[in-house]
Amino acid sequence: MPTLPDSEIHALMRAEHGDPFAVLGPHETAEGLEVRALLPGAQAVAVMHASSGWPLATLERVPGSDLFAGLVPAAPARIGYSLRVTWAHHTSDIADPYRFGQVLRDMDVWLLAEGTHLRPYEQLGAHFREMDGIKGVAFAVWAPNARRVSVVGNFNNWDGRRHMMRFRRECGVWEIFAPGLATGDVYEYEILSSKGEVLRKADPFGFSAQLRPDTASVVQPLPGVAAVPPGRAAANDRHSPITIYEVHLGSWRRKNNGHDWLDYRELADSLVPYARDLGFTHIELLPVSEHPFDGSWGYQPIGLYAPTSRFGTPGDFRYFVETAHAAGLGVILDWVPAHFPTDAHGLGQFDGTALYEYADPREGFHNDWQTLIFNYSRIEVRNYLVGNALYWLERYGVDGLRVDAVASMLYRDYSREHGQWVPNAYGGRENLEAIAFLRRMNHVVGVERPGTMTVAEESTSFPGVTRPPADGGLGFHYKWNMGWMNDTLSYAGIDPVHRKHHHRKVTFGLMYAHSENFVLPFSHDEVVHGKGSMIGRMPGDEWQKFANLRNLYGYLWAYPGKKLLFMGSEFAQYAEWNADKSLDWHLLSHAAHQGVHRLVRDLNNVYRHFPAMHELDCDGGGFEWIVHDDTAQSVFAFIRRARDGAFVVVVCNFTPVVRNGYRLGVPEPGSYREVINTDNGVYGGSGVGNGTLSSEAEPQHGRAQSLLMNVPPLGTVMWVLATENESP
């Protein structure tokens, strides 16, 4: 009989033992080496020599329990043994998880405790490993306040007594090596809280997860480090053309009459060539991290390390990224480190305490989204998130992260009334811990994965969002220009007859256009929740709607800043975006929609072809007004310049009136040709154009040379010197 007291046996049987390795497995006793195994459901257990397979001993059941124990020959058992277990209907040989040593190395324990482990995903979670010549999976999970943690799954009948874990008090991590597991095995952590609650949690570091409504994590190998294709880093540079096609994978296109999603590989073979053909440089994906609720579009993730299984396996997702790279396209992921949902299997109250979230709901609960806010004051939480950023960039080779809801992270009073928020240590409203996290994340990304980009969705005037952390900034490479977007769409929605009264909505943005490195976003947020589609927001009759939209796109591509357009907007989808159905691809059989589609392709090509259109997007030297005060006619004109002085002249007419004989001052004498005219008949316009014009020595707009042109109705025209003999 075993040397264990009844209290230990009862604790094991109730799965309440906080130190199972102290009592299970091989242990020296006064009588010799005793092996103990807790195997609920077993009828008999024998200890077998690992290499020869010869029996060493038969373990006896402790009366009234599922604990088996017995003395074994010490020398062969120390070399290694397995357990031959007779169950009700079969016999199996298993390796005893309690005969293996610690999973985490001392250095990893130190770095995890310090919160400076750059790649915590290499140690935490589920990892294939070989220990003492036995293959299996090493599990490790941070749950410092738990009384007991077990890994449960299909491999142990979801019984929390079978794989109770070892607690590494130094870093608050529970660990165990589970022999024999394979890719595809499903698991969760069963956690006994300090209050006696039994919780079931998905793995925060799970590399794959079941599709909702199932909640378990799935054993998958850690993806290898992705190589950086030549030229990818330069493609993200602020002097390079960046024009982004934003996509929700579940509704871009569907199959089987709209009932089924395309998988990652099907999307790679259809979405990637489509975006490339349209001339985009990057595809931005709404969050692909695993999430339980389709209606969140991925913005309420639970599996931050798991590509959603809606569209296939992690390997399938990596194939998508690699296919995009092979086609010359970058991939940007929407990333959500601001908040997470309250689902029971998620991060909330992970070990029975507010571990990942702030405990005080005035800090830790989003009233707008009914979600929990990450506790950025905890070094382990910051490390979890920084590691996650690096994981997507390094292990899947994505080119950038667009960080969602940054404004909600920066301010403690975000969307809160007086008295509903907790000031920082200095009595202010800024979330200093979140700011420190963002700076560290951007610093780590910049050092460890140079050439990738981070983009902030930040809707306030917080200073220095795209300034380096060393200079007091947040360290993002780009920031969404939400102010420009709101002003521009507001202006575009006004009846042209009244636009002269709202002239400043166009000119004001140039006051701050180069205060940050901006992306100009016409994103998913602008075509949902009752806002209507892009074409639906335009005023006027059918012809004017399309003309207004083409003009708006011409203005977007000409304006300083990188470009972003949400799917469906490139062919003027009528309906507001619906995440539960495919885009209305049938519209491309109609000429007006074909025209917008062709214009987007041509705008992308001109933007990429002429350095003046992109090289100084983020530099004040790349923009110069020619006409900013023609209020009566709602005409604007400006120059875009390249670093070598080459230029493009842009004229925008925001009324449906043709401006015949409009004299425009130009920078240099010469012949000028139109490279874009959004009123061109090939786009569905009225065909008012000029072809090639020669400048005249007649001063206008403070310039010695001028062109006498016809400015098309609701049209944008882009001019280059005819000596630029290359065509886009």
* pLDDT tens digit sequence for 321-332: 999 999 999 999
pLDDT of residue 2: 56
What is the 8-class DSSP label of residue 590? S
182-216 core/surface letters (b: 16 or more CB in 10 A; e: else): eeebbbbbbbbbeeeeebebbbbbbbbbbebeebb
Average pLDDT over residues 458-469: 94
Please calculate the CA angle 116-219-42 and round it to the nearest 5 degrees.
115
| Of 185 and 236, the one with more pLDDT | 185
* 398-427 mean pLDDT: 94
CATH fold of 619-721 reads Immunoglobulin-like (2.60.40)
Query: What sign results for the dihedral spanned by CA atoms 189, 190, 191, 195?
Result: positive
What pLDDT is stored for residue 123 in this prediction? 96
Tokens of 650: 């842009």
Residue 153 has pLDDT above 70, yes or no: yes
pLDDT the model gives residue 643? 96
* Alpha-carbon dihedral sign for residues 544, 549, 552, 554: negative
Q: Are 172 and 207 in contact (CB under 8 A)?
A: no
Q: What is the DSSP letter of 213?
A: T
Q: What are the sequence ranges of the domains in the chain?
A: 6-99, 106-218, 619-721
pLDDT for 601: 98
Given a cut of 90, is residue 20 above it in pLDDT?
yes
The secondary structure element, H or E, covering residue 265 is helix 264-277
Longest dimension (CA), the chain: 110
pLDDT in tens, 700-718: 999 999 999 999 999 999 9
Return the CATH architecture of domain 106-218: Sandwich (2.60)
Q: Which residues of 610-646 are buried (b: 16+ CB within 10 A; e: fewer)?
A: bbbbbbbbbeeebbeebbeebeebbbbbbbbbbeeeb
Q: What pLDDT shows up at residue 727?
A: 61
Percent of the chain beyond pLDDT 90? 91
At residue 395 the predicted structure's pLDDT band, cuts being 50, 70 and 90, is: very high
Residues 539 and 515: their CA atoms lie apart, in Å, by 32
Unique residue bearing structure tokens 């995440």:
579
**Which DSSP string do the residues of 84-124 spell out, in sequence order?**
EEE-SS-EEEEE-GGGS--SS-HHHHHHHHHT--S-GGGTS
> Nearest 5 degrees, angle CA 262-CA 392-CA 378?
130
Is the Cβ–Cβ distance between 715 and 677 less than 8 Å?
A: yes
At which residue do the structure tokens 């030549």 appear?
230
580-609: average pLDDT: 97
Q: What is the mean pLDDT of residues 540-551?
A: 97
Which residue type does 228 have?
A: V
Residue bearing tokens 């005819």: 722
Instruction: Give me the percent of the chain exceeding a pLDDT of 70.
Output: 99
Q: What does DSSP assign to residue 210?
A: P
Is 60 exceeded by the pLDDT of residue 625? yes
Please check the confidence at residue 77 and state whether its pLDDT lies above 80.
Answer: no
- Which residues touch 316 (CB under 8 Å, ≥6 apart)? 263, 264, 265
| The pLDDT of residue 342 is above 90 | yes
pLDDT at residue number 726: 58
pLDDT digits (tens, 9 = 90+) for 367-384: 999 999 999 999 999 999
Sole residue written with tokens 């009136």: 657
Same fold: 106-218 with 619-721 = yes
Provide the pLDDT for residue 50: 83
Q: Is the pLDDT of residue 211 over 70?
A: yes
Position 533 pLDDT exceeds 60: yes
What pLDDT was estimated at residue 112? 94
Mean pLDDT of the 599-608 span = 98
In order of 379, 611, 668, the CA distances from 621 in angstroms are 42, 13, 17
Phi, psi of 347, deg, nearest 5 = -80, -20
Nearest to 688 by CA among 710, 707, 672: 710
Residues 562, 559: Cα–Cα separation, whole Å: 9
For 679-715, what is the HEC assignment? CCHHHCCCCCCCCEEECECCCECCECEEEEEEECCCE
CA distance 446 to 431: 23
The whole-number average pLDDT for the span 76-105 is 91
pLDDT surpassing 90 at residue 197: yes
| Nearest-10 crossing angle of helices 314-326, 264-277 | 20
CA 710 → CA 210, 216, 477, 625, 705, distances in Å?
61, 65, 40, 19, 17
Average pLDDT for 147-166: 96
Give the mean pLDDT of the chain. Answer: 95
Place of tokens 């009914």: 370
Q: How far apart are CA 338 and CA 63, in angstroms?
A: 52
CATH number of 6-99: 2.60.40.10
**Residues involved in catalysis:** 404, 457
